[in-house]
Amino acid sequence: MKNIFDYKGKQVLVLGLAKSGYTAAKLLHRLGAEVTVNDMASLDQDPHAAELKSMGVHIVDGGHPDYLIHENLYTIVKNPGIPYTNPLIASAMDKKVPVITEVELASQISEAEFIGITGSNGKTTTTMMLGEMMKGSEYEAIVAGNIGTVLSEVVQDATNNNIIVTELSSFQLLGTKDFSPHVAIILNLFEAHLDYHGTLQEYGRAKAKITANQKENDILIYNADNFHVVELIRDSKATKIPFSAAASTKKGAYIEMGAIYYKGEKIVHVDDMAMPGAHNAENALAAIAAAKVYNVSTGFLQKVLKTFSGVPHRLEFIKEKDGRLFYNDSKATNILATTKALAAFRQPTILLAGGLDRGGSFDALIPALDRVKSVVAFGETREKIKAAAEQAGVKTIKIADNVDEAVQQAYGLSDTGDVILLSPACASWDQYKSFEQRGDMFIKRVHML
């Protein structure tokens, strides 16, 4: 950890506790800042808030009082999920007070190099896959970021012998100023999180910050098949390495005759990969390109690709029961993710889908339902999912109250050889605290059958 003095004696506001706020507050205190933590919720019973208070951190909870923004405030470190329309954020920006996320804070003290991974879909799988691949490099890889391990915690003990493989959301990237990974990966860009960003252009602008500060000696790995990504990276100063599932791009990673290649060298046959689906082959292309930057051997990459079976809640195989194969894809929180999950299977599939209603339609899901045997819809969007399934000509459609009931109904509709797939195409917050909780409910119910 670099010893910096930027925050010593400065007043800093951490907006939103959660995991990232707690870690950022502790780090800022360690750096000598006068820290205030503010959260809308009551923190009276929160053990992290109690710990911070005992350290001398000021806690303000139960609202966002205006007095927290003042002329002596040095900066705000905000929770990524808090929108810029929040009154305190808006007031701070009016007063030219810098607003950052803890990713920026982490980068200021890190001795280790970063590999940053972003995109609308596939971030977690690619991050975890690349983390495994980097075990074949000369560096000790640490996987962190949006994947669950807070970056500003990891960097405190990291050295220049480490590489931090970092999943980055648009929310996190939007709050960066000088952050610059040595290797940046942009997997894809589709309409998502428009309730936060407003437009696809603004969403893309947030994603593009991953390469905004890169120089010629840095590397940008990008999806050459995605028009929005190609436009997004046009002005990047980094050395660019493309990947493509559609064309033989000899300057990077590509698929040809059913096999993955990197700059003309065959790496592995797609059918030999442990993870099913064309989208996972695309994720592998990006990960391979990054691993090759660090001279990971082809033999080691083959070993990883043939054994890496994925991450929890992302097309995760749960078990086989009575000839039925159960897969948990609870992390599929948008239509594109569910479309890719359905494309991964040749078997008759029973789809469990539904969740938070953001107001959009499910017309884009209809073409992907052509080989779906049955649909069990649940959550706020159940009627919309049902309507899309009807339009797609799905013969059997059922409505369930929740995931627990949906599993039971799906099992009753299934036959030997079927895939029963939870891939909701929606966020979980109508009924569950997180997609993890939703996926855990699915797994628990499957094991109870």
Whole-angstrom Cα distance, residue 320 to residue 98? 52
Q: What is the DSSP code (8-state) at residue 38?
A: E
**Residue 183 Cα distances to 69, 135, 221, 357, angstroms:** 36, 16, 7, 36
Distances (CA, A) of 324 to 38, 351, 422: 49, 13, 13
Does the annotation place 125 within a ligand binding site?
yes
Cβ within 8 Å of residue 166, ≥6 positions away? 103, 114, 115, 116, 117, 127, 143, 144, 145, 151, 181
Nearest to 101 by CA among 156, 21, 11: 21
Handedness of CA 187, 190, 196, 202 (dihedral sign): positive
- Determine whether the annotation assigns residue 122 to a binding site: yes
Q: Is 38 marked within a binding site?
A: no
The answer on whether 121 is annotated among ligand-binding residues is yes
The number of angstroms, rounded, from the C-alpha of 136 to the middle of its chain's C-alpha atoms is: 24
Neighbours of 359 (CB within 10 A): 7
Residue 73 CA to residue 30 CA, distance in Å, equals 18
Residue 422 and residue 352 in contact, taking contact as beta carbons nearer than 8 Å: yes
Which single residue is written with the structure tokens 């797994």?
A: 443
* 120 in a labelled binding site: yes
Is residue 124 part of an annotated ligand binding site? yes
- Residue 254's H or E segment, with its range, is strand 253-256
The answer to whether the beta carbons of residues 97 and 42 sit under 8 Å apart is: no
Q: How far, in Å, CA of 266 to CA of 262, rounded?
A: 7
| Structural tokens at position 30 | 């360690």
333 a known binding residue?
Answer: no
Binding site as annotated, residues: 119-125
Give binding residues for ATP as ranges: 119-125
